[in-house]
Amino acid sequence: MAFIDILAFEQVLLLITAVLVGYVGVVVWWAMRHDNAAGVKSALKGAAIPIGFVGGVATSLALWAEMVWPYPVPLASYNILFNDVYLLFGLTLVTLAVSLAVSAKLQYAGLFALVAGGVTIAYGWNGYVLGMTKEPFETLLLFGAFGLAGILSFPATVITDHYLAHPDGTAFAFRAGTALARRRPSIQASSRAAQPIVPMSPSGTPDEELSVHLPFRLPIYISITLIVFVVSMALAGIAALYFLNTTLPAHLASAP
């Protein structure tokens, strides 16, 4: 069977993933900001199918590409440089999709992504130093952006797990809840001076705690962490689009 160059299609899947995961990140952050645990769960559950589909396709393509050895000479370097990390990319998405579908803890998928992200950055840097591609700088940007997004996904998933584990709004220091207060007793007459002093509520019940409902406020460090993750996915999408725009003309003009 003749060799089929799937590199451009793999790059398109990178772009789709960056947009999809970035959008999910925005929806989750917005729902957390409004203390909407149901909205967070709905966004995560809804993302399981598209993320799983992209991850399954990416994993299948990467496995096939790993077994096709060697690539034609113009693409020979991509056997190792691109498809090793692309297989990690696909497996990360599959792991994430399964975790989303069964409502498992996301931090383990985030840990998988953290390690894969570090490996991706290492591959990109070595590919750049060794000049393994015709687009060394673009490749470095692509690998660096997705590697960084993978690393930042770990704290983002830990935050999400922690929030969903406390649906009563007690996940963070600044939260919706109840502030407790007590009425201070007053001595109204000298005839009662010798009686025990008992805190009274407006209803007259002794020692009754008064509740004051405070508005929910997502801590700034939580918002910053989630926003930085979303920004990293946006940068990864831009890098994927830039890389695709650089390689697509040659791919269409003289594909193997």
- With 60 as the cut, is the pLDDT of residue 20 above it? yes
Domains and CATH numbers, the chain: 7-172+214-253 (1.25.40.600)
Amino acid at 182: R
In the chain the first and final C-alpha atoms are separated, in Å, by 13
Is it the case that residue 166 has pLDDT exceeding 90? no
Contact assessment for residue 55 and residue 91, using Cβ atoms and an 8 Å cutoff: yes
Residue bearing the bigger pLDDT, 212 or 54: 54
Fill in the amino acid letter for 28. Answer: V
- Residue 74 structure tokens: 């113009």
Average pLDDT value for residue range 21-41:
95
Does the structure show a pLDDT above 90 at 95? yes
Position 218 scores a pLDDT of 87
- 160 touches 229 (CB < 8 A): no
Lowest mean pLDDT among 60-64, 176-180, 231-235: 176-180
Which contiguous run of DSSP H or E holds residue 80? helix 78-81
Helix (H) or strand (E) holding 210: strand 210-214
Q: What per-residue confidence (pLDDT) applies to 203?
A: 53
Assessment of whether the complete model's pTM goes beyond 0.85 = no
Contacts of 29 (CB under 8 A, 6+ apart): 223, 226, 227, 230
Q: For residue 131, what pLDDT is reported?
A: 82
Which distant-in-sequence residues (6+ apart) come within 8 Å of 68 by Cβ?
3, 79
pLDDT grade for 182, boundaries at 50, 70 and 90 = very low
The answer on pLDDT for 1 being more than 50 is no
Q: What is the reported pLDDT for 202? A: 53
What pLDDT was estimated at residue 59?
96
Amino acid at 122: A
Residue 208 DSSP label = P
